[in-house]
Amino acid sequence: MSEKEVSREQIATALREVIDPEVGVNVLDLGLVYRVEVDLPRVTVQMTMTTPACPLGPYLTTQVQDALRRHLPDASDIQVDIVWEPAWNPEFISDEGRRQLGWAEQPA
């Protein structure tokens, strides 16, 4: 991998730093991030909120941009687009997110 390439792990690490303060789970494990496109120096993120009435949109957008800047120093143009399709639902939460929420199935 060259210096200018970005790994999925770098992106995931950055996005896992962004915690939705209403539920205490990061935006990646909460299933809010739908797509990330990297064409350095540009990075475009498509993400959603748990509800269109969520007051945290601007806050989370800024947090995502800041986290990506910290982890991807060659990304100078980071755009975060809030999308509403598909509508978010709890099925999008990862197993790790469910564990953090206390929703994970308990072993028998």
Give the architecture-level CATH label for domain 8-99.
Answer: 2-Layer Sandwich (3.30)
User: Can you give the pLDDT at residue 2?
Assistant: 42
Q: How many other β-carbons are positioned within 10 Å of the β-carbon of residue 19?
A: 16
Query: What interhelical angle do 57-71 and 8-16 show, nearest 10?
Result: 140
pLDDT per residue as tens, the chain (108 positions): 444 678 999 999 999 999 999 999 999 999 999 999 999 999 999 999 999 999 999 999 999 999 999 999 999 999 999 999 999 999 999 999 999 999 977 555
User: Can you give the pLDDT at residue 108?
Assistant: 52
User: Can you give the pLDDT at residue 87?
Assistant: 96
User: Can you give the pLDDT at residue 104?
Assistant: 75
The model's pTM: 0.89
Per-residue burial over 62-98, b = 16 or more CB atoms within 10 Å of its CB, e = otherwise: ebbbebbeebbeebeebebebeeeeebeeebbeeebe
Residue ranges covered by each domain of the chain: 8-99
**pLDDT above 90 covers what percent of the chain?**
87
